DNA sequence: GATACATTGTGTATGTCATTCACTATGTAT
DNA sequence: ATACATAGTGAATGACATACACAATGTATC
């Protein structure tokens, strides 16, 4: 069970589902990046801002692990965010090697504005759809995401 | 009607739907790019290969318009694809300025292999789900995509 | 305490993707 | 013949991401 190479073709009626999912994902990301760009943020930098907003001040190493990129890359991202005034580097109180990344006032304000904007758009995107349909949509996304992870680890250990 | 700034909050029960959609899109793209990378393709280059596979030999200008990037960028992408043996540039029969991009044998083979692989994975990803649920999932994606486009044009003309 | 090892951040170099601007060569219309 | 539009590319630039090397600091071990 749970084996990728032994499926009894559970869904033969949709040959191009995955292709449509790819298109959907591309559209979503394009929309997301457009919204971020209006506030002077890129996807990569917004990820950092969002994580700091969620988890509070963190070291660059923690951010690198959370995002799944190299520490060197986070250095560059924080460089840009610091220059554009979204975040600030502060000394870690216990570890003199580490630096804590925290939001500036402007960083917090932009984050709040973005969240509100997306909330507003979200209401429009799903407006009129039966609540049950939206619920099931989210559930299907979750199911597919879990299996995507399975496929990823399966092909990684090959 | 169809106005973004006048929604009667059709779906108040899901505060973080859009955030989950963002996460889903990111996972899908990550999965897609991992599959492409195994065959030596990046997302950008695979887009070119896919369009040529679908629409037959095309000029770089047509590809640029279809992808939505500058012609200069397509030049670079085709440079890479030519060097790695996926596509070939041929003279346009009527327009001596233009170059036709067409798949090599290797390009066609890799494309076919990728399509088969994604087909196989797709069956797994949606296995066990009621056909009606998958159908509605696709329908919801389509609805949201249409409204995403509306939001995009609305904010662009602001 | 000294030694060895691990961890944090960053300089340097490299590569992909994407843009703008300038330019040549070619097509097209007047 | 002249003017304009189009197709592709060189040069320069920038964001994102990597690998490798290195200094500074923390931690464990003898």
Tens-digit pLDDT profile for residues B29-76: 999 999 999 999 999 999 999 999 999 999 999 999 999 999 999 999
At residue A158, the pLDDT reads 64
Record the tokens describing residue B100, joined without a space: 């036709």
> B108 by DSSP, 3-state: which?
helix
Condensed to tens digits (0 to 9), the pLDDT of residues A7-53 reads 444 444 455 899 999 999 999 999 999 999 999 999 999 999 999 99
Q: Where do the DSSP E strands lie in A69-158?
A: 87-91, 99-103
**Mean pLDDT, to the nearest integer, of B115-139?**
93
- A58 CA, D29 C1': Å apart: 30
Smallest CA-to-CA distance from A46 within A57, A36, A54, A55 is with A36
Residues ≥6 apart with Cβ < 8 Å to B150: B2, B4
Residue B2 contacts A where some CB pair is shorter than 8 Å: no
List pLDDT tens digits, range B78-122: 999 999 999 999 999 999 999 999 999 999 999 999 999 999 999
Burial A59-94 (b: 16+ CB within 10 A, else e): bbebbbeebebeeeebeebbeebeeeebbbeeeeee
The arithmetic mean of pLDDT across residues A67-78, rounded, is: 98
Report which of A84, A58, A82 is spatially closest to residue A71, judged by C-alpha positions.
A58
Question: Which chain B residues have a beta carbon less than 8 Å from that of A120?
Answer: 4, 7
Cα separation, A103 vs A112, whole angstroms: 12
Pick B11's closest partner by Cβ from A120, A127, A148: A127
| CA A39 centroid distance within chain | 17
Angle value at C-alpha B120, between B116 and B125, nearest 5 degrees: 140
Å from A61 to nearest chain B CA? 22
pLDDT of residue B100: 98
Whether the CB of B65 is less than 7 Å away from nucleic strand C comes out as no
Label residue A151 by pLDDT band (50, 70, 90). Answer: confident
CA A31 to C1' C10, in angstroms, rounded, equals 34
Residues of B in contact with A144 (CB under 8 A): 24, 125-126
The arrangement of strands across the sheet holding A99-103 comes to: A58-59, A99-103, A87-91
List of residues 6+ apart from B60 with CB closer than 8 A = B71, B74, B75, B78, B98, B99, B101
CA closest to B123 among chain A residues: A9
């Amino acid at each position: 069970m749970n084996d990728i190479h032994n499926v009894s073709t559970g869904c033969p009626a949709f040959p191009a589902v995955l292709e449509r999912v790819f298109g959907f994902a591309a559209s979503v990301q394009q929309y997301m990046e457009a919204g971020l760009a209006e506030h002077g943020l890129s996807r990569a930098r917004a990820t950092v801002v969002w994580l700091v907003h969620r988890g509070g001040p963190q070291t660059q190493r923690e951010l690198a692990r959370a995002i799944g990129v190299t520490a060197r890359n986070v250095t560059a991202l924080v460089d840009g965010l610091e220059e554009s005034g979204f975040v600030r580097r502060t000394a870690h109180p216990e570890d003199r090697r580490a630096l804590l990344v925290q939001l500036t006032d402007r960083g917090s304000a932009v984050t709040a504005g973005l969240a509100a904007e997306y909330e507003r758009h979200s209401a429009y995107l799903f407006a009129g759809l039966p609540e049950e349909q939206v619920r099931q949509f989210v559930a299907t996304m979750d199911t597919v995401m879990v299996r995507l992870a399975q496929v990823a680890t399966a092909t990684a250990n090959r």
